[in-house]
Amino acid sequence: MRALVQRVSEARVVIDGETVGEIGAGMLVLVCAMQGDGDDQAAFLARKIANLRIFESEPGKMNLSVLASGGSALVVSQFTLAADTSRGNRPGFSYAAPPDEGERLYELFKAALGEHGVPVQTGRFGQVMQVHLVNDGPVTIWLDTAG
């Protein structure tokens, strides 16, 4: 699985003019299940993100997890993280998991993150969404369970 994690002071997801998920300070997690991913990858990624120390314990020192900082996570499915741009200028998405499996792993990831104690808000799988965020830092971290 792949995830792009952004430390935010606030973030929300809007679908058809309606806010469906919203957090204050915490992290926006854009997540994508890849071909061959399974339950183990979803569990590993959730544990890694719950414990990722990207929040400041004092000025200039990133030493706190989202849990320790009292933050939340806004989790948004984003199959475009699987983009292959190695040929031409139009990205291909054949490395993404099929939609049914992608949704299952997305749901598993969200649940596992919540089980670690992180308050979770979400977008909606497979929907066109507008994601609004204020990146804090900016801090943006790329995670990939494949390596």
pTM exceeding 0.75: yes
109 in active site: no
Q: Work out how many domains the chain is built from and give that number.
A: 1
List per-block mean pLDDT (blocks of 10 residues) for the chain, which spans 147 residues.
Answer: 98 98 98 97 98 94 96 97 94 96 98 98 96 97 91
Where residue 130 sits, what CATH number does that domain have? 3.50.80.10
The per-residue pLDDT for 147 is 65
The per-residue pLDDT for 120 is 98
145 in active site: no
Q: Measuring CA to CA, which residue among 51, 52, 73 is closest to residue 122?
A: 73
The whole domain housing 56 covers 2-144
| The one catalytic residue among 19, 35, 80, 140 | 80
79 in active site: yes
Q: Measuring CA to CA, which residue among 84, 65, 92, 86 is closest to residue 5?
A: 65
| The one catalytic residue among 6, 79, 121, 145 | 79
Beta strand 72-77 pairing with 26-32:
parallel
